[in-house]
Each structure stands twice: as structure tokens, then as C-alpha cells.
């Protein structure tokens, strides 16, 4: 069982690497309370992680579950396998005149820095979204993080800690992304174009993402989802009701 998707099967991965010197490999696990511990706290598990995008497809979900089961069953072998696949991908990229990039938490939130992976690949770029504000500013220079926002009350300590940094903050908007407006004092930029752009231009900004998924996801009342009317025309204007 291969762990990494190296064919840019994820549409965001494909858009992110297009026209750049990078090729991006991604790892998609099926989120549970251990590999994405803040998902329930942030209210994002159902509307985003489980059913959004290709996750709604039965075969895709099963493949992710198999990988997650592998992680729990034999973490050492999982890491050994992942490292081998990452090394092979780095070599392939070098042959193609490309730089390797990895998004290992496509829909999980594992602190890969604890397992030494960024240091093993100093010439590669690693990046992820995270719901753990404690990780911000504590990863190696080649492992860059963006914080995932939610309005859930129990999640606000994480939000407050994240906003004390200039880390890009990803906010999921229902319907459309109100670019050029402001949310919580930060300018909103279109985060759906490219994660590599988000990393370079998102410091101190809101990475606006349009809510993806089917009808049930679109009707979700989760506080992980922000209404565009909550955006403001100026950094500290009062949002519409």
C-alpha cells in the first residue's frame, strides 16, 4: 500500500504546483480523535474532513481508513515506509529539475516535527494546516504551518494564541470568499488559488477558503463555517448581522 499521492490527485495540490518549480506529494489519512485531536473541538470533522471533496467517495474513504489503521497498528513501520517514499519522490523531483514539497496532513493534524521528518529532507518544503496553535513557530524552517480557524467557543484559546503570531489563518466561508474585506482585523485573500501562494503572501492575513462538499455539508450549521457577511470593509469595522 503506497502512502503518498505523487500524482497531484487532490485539486488543491494540482493548482498549487502548477507553474512552479515544485512537485507536491500528499498524504491523506482518515481523521480520528488521535490523528486530528482538535477536529471535534473546532467543529470541522463532519463538514470538512470526512465528507468534503474526494472524501465523499467510498473507495477514497476506505483507502484513507486503511492508512490510518496502518499508522495505529505499526507506527515505526509506517514512518519507515513514509520516509522511503519521500526519499524516492525527492530523487524523482531532482531528475525532473523540480523541488519536492510535501503536505503530509491533508486531512489530519499529526505533528510530524516530532518524528524528525523535516530535518531528514532539508532541501524539501513541508507544509500543513493545523488546529494546534502550540505548533506555530516551533517547526523547522522548511516546515511551514497555517492555522485553521473556527468560531466554536471551546476552541477560542487556540484562536487567541494563533492570532498572537503572524501565521496565516485559514477561514472557511460559505458560498464565496469575500476577498479584499477583513476578518478579525486581518485582510482576506483568496486561499483557493494555491497553498504555495498562501505560504508566501499569507503572513498576517486571512486565507479565505470556500466551503466545499455536497448538499449536507453546505447546509451544515457548524461554527467552523463563517458567513461572508461577517467580513468587514475595514480592519476594525463592525460586521453586518
Residue 214 to residues 55, 60, 69, 148, 166: CA-CA distances in angstroms?
11, 16, 26, 21, 33
Strand partners, 206: 169, 188
Quote the cell numbers at residue 14.
Answer: 494540482
Residue 75 lies in a domain: yes
pLDDT, residue 236, reads 75
Mean pLDDT of the chain: 90
Asked if residue 241 has pLDDT above 50, the reply is no
Residue 133 lies in a domain: yes
What are the tens digits of pLDDT across the range 138-153?
999 999 999 999 999 9
**What is the percent of the chain with per-residue pLDDT over 90, rounded to a whole number?**
74
Quote the cell numbers at residue 193.
Answer: 488559488
Residue 238 lies in a domain: no
What are the tens digits of pLDDT across the range 5-20?
998 778 889 999 998 9
User: Distance between CA 26 and CA 222 in Å, rounded?
Assistant: 27
165: domain range? 4-230
Q: Pick 107 or 92 by higher pLDDT.
A: 92
pLDDT, residue 11, reads 85
Residue 237 lies in a domain: no
Mean pLDDT for the stretch of residues 25-33? 91
pLDDT, residue 76, reads 98
Q: Is the torsion defined by CA of 187, 191, 192, 196 positive or negative?
A: positive
Residue 235 lies in a domain: no
What are the tens digits of pLDDT across the range 182-235?
999 999 999 999 999 999 999 999 999 999 888 888 888 888 999 999 999 988
Counting the structural domains of the chain, the total is 1
Residue 187 lies in a domain: yes
149, 169 Cβ separation under 8 angstroms: yes
Residue 200 lies in a domain: yes
Residue 217 lies in a domain: yes
Tell me, what DSSP letter sits at residue 47? I
Q: pTM for this one?
A: 0.90
Tell me, what DSSP letter sits at residue 223? T
Asked if residue 59 has pLDDT above 50, the reply is yes
What are the tens digits of pLDDT across the range 162-176?
999 999 999 999 999
Mean pLDDT for the stretch of residues 95-106? 97
Amino acid at each position: 500500500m503506497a502512502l503518498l499521492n505523487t500524482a497531484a490527485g487532490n485539486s488543491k495540490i494540482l493548482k498549487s504546483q502548477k507553474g512552479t518549480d515544485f512537485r507536491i506529494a500528499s498524504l491523506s489519512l482518515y481523521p480520528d480523535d488521535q490523528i486530528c485531536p482538535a477536529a471535534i473541538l473546532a467543529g470541522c470533522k463532519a463538514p470538512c474532513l470526512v465528507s468534503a471533496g474526494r472524501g465523499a467517495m467510498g473507495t477514497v474513504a476506505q483507502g484513507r481508513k486503511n492508512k490510518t489503521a496502518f499508522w495505529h497498528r505499526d507506527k515505526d513501520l509506517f514512518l519507515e515506509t513514509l520516509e522511503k517514499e519521500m526519499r524516492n519522490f525527492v530523487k524523482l523531483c531532482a531528475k525532473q529539475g523540480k523541488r519536492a514539497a510535501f503536505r503530509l496532513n491533508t486531512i489530519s493534524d499529526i505533528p510530524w516535527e516530532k518524528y524528525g521528518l523535516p530535518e531528514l529532507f532539508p532541501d524539501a518544503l513541508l507544509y500543513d494546516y493545523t488546529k494546534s496553535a502550540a505548533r506555530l513557530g516551533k517547526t523547522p524552517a522548511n516546515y511551514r504551518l497555517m492555522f485553521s480557524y473556527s468560531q466554536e467557543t471551546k476552541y477560542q484559546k487556540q484562536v487567541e494564541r494563533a492570532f498572537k503570531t503572524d501565521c496565516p489563518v485559514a477561514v472557511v466561508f460559505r458560498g464565496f470568499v469575500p476577498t479584499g474585506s477583513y476578518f478579525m482585523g486581518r485582510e482576506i485573500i483568496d486561499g483557493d488559488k494555491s497553498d504555495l501562494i498562501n505560504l508566501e503572501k499569507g503572513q498576517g492575513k486571512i486565507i479565505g477558503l470556500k466551503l466545499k462538499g455536497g448538499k449536507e455539508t453546505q447546509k451544515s450549521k457548524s461554527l467552523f463555517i463563517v458567513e461572508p457577511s461577517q467580513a468587514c470593509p475595514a480592519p476594525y469595522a463592525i460586521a453586518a448581522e
